[in-house]
Structure 1
Amino acid sequence: MVALVDIFVAVFVLVFLVPVLAMLAVLWYYFRLGRSLTHVGRRLGVRWWDAAGPVIAGTGLLALVALPGDVPAEGEPGSLPFAVGFGLVVVGTVGAAVAIGNLDEYRQVRRGTDAMAGLDEGPTIVSGTGEVDEDAVTAPLSGEQSLWYSLRVTEDRGIAHRTAPAECHYERTDARFVVDDGSGAVVVDPSGGSVRLWGRPLMGGEDVRVRGGTGSTDAPDLAAVREQAGLDADPDQAFVEHRLEPECAVTVLGTVTRDPETRYPLVSDGERRLVVFEGEAEAVRRRLRRWVRAGAVIGVVGFAVGAAVVLSVGGVV
């Protein structure tokens, strides 16, 4: 005999939970939220496993308030403090993820770089000037020679009068390039690694940005870019290009191997995860230190204060 509580749970799941989850899945797909999170992670240096702990902690806290507590509805007394506390929890979660995501690279860069002359196989940190290896890479929007480039295309999608950019295409080159520190040189294989262009503003500083509906005579040939990417013409599209230019300063964390087909030692993804930074080693170290410290402070303060507010307003404590 089916218990009454089992019937209630089944009805709740079918009537309330399934439609909500289905709607969230539709929105997730329509706005390409997974791709957007991946893009933010690339820019912040955060991988999903770096964010897993803070996100679980934040979700658990909100679940603790929502289930046994009394969350004030919009317009009710306490709704504004609860919203502020919720925002602080979110900010604290992001700060903690940024600190965790950049901590390992900061520890490695802080130990100093290796001279490229006589490099042994294994983990290494090298810094020098980036140069073209053999074949020059041409960035699709600017048409400029590059060591490395990425191209991201978004299109405006929305519901009613609210729109948000949704990523519809992303590509990056994995061509090898050379880094020379004066004592020697290495060949860097960026495939499988992370490239962080930190010589510019974090969420901006793109080398080229073009709207799909631009009528400028000096705009790049978007038709050729669209054809290569398999995209239809859309005036709501935005094309953003980032690139590493020849002769720029580059710092590389990776693993040295010997490849008989390369003229220099090969640095690639392996025992030490490959990360390519734009900038000299000392500048990279300072930036990483700032992100780790700022993320840790924001994470601890934001999460602690936000948790205290939502727990108090929600009636849990």
Structure 2
Amino acid sequence: MSETDVSMRVVADHMRAMTFLIADGVVPSNEHRGYVLRKIMRRAMRHGKHLGMKEPFLYTLVDTLVREYGDAYPELRSGRDAIIQVVRSEEDRFDAVLTSGLPRLEEAIERAASSGGILPGEVAFRLYDTHGLPIDFIEDTVQARGLRFDKDTFERAMEGQREKARAKSTFKGSAWQDTAWTAGDALRQELERVGDNVFRGYESTEVNTQVMALFDAGRQEIESLKTGQEGFIALSATPFYLEAGGQVSDEGTISSPQGEAQVTGLVRAAGWPRLHAVTVKSGT
């Protein structure tokens, strides 16, 4: 069987799996069922690249699945638009990752090829952690070039990352449970007026938005957060998914001309927009 045949079979099989998973309510994420779905989707996308597909294409195949299986599984018909949105959004997200990370992976592979044929684990971790390249994508690309990958060092770096995440769990965990937010009457009224109708993640992975409110780690309304501070941000629109139904919250970055903050999770506040738990990386 040729590589083209293999890629076509992978795309067909994975397309079927992802369509049914999304119809069942699974959302791509970095944990649990959502992580399995994301891996399935991204493997199909990689094989699409092998077939010469340069633009998002998986979402155009949803209608084929609906046509073939919609009579037996009516949830495919009723969820068709949402399935297409989720698939297209994940394709756009992966394309953005490749645009940013692939040139850096190519540079790292060239260095490895000229210095022993091994991609260092710490380099792979940086590509994974900073630039978002999936580790299986890195590993497949390295092996396709006839090189080796130092997975032991990568796993040690991953464990260090997990330790840091566990160290921060007290901040995020207590914030999740405590709904006592201190804010002025005018701000409360505005947040209640907007409500949690701000999610745009099925439409785009990036949105232009406005900061509605800032809170410090003690859930007190404040005017600004400075470099190194942890706190919470309410936005008028967001692409970040809020943990629900077993799917964990998204992580990412909020940027403005004044600074940048790392989003480490999201918090539900009854009747308000979802609040982004952040650490300010630069500026205010």
TM-score scaled by structure 2? 0.30
Query: Greater Rg, structure 1 or structure 2?
Result: 1
Of the two structures, which has the highest relative contact order with CA contacts closer than 8 Å and spacing of 6 or more?
Answer: 1
| Larger fraction in strand | 1
TM-score scaled by structure 1? 0.27
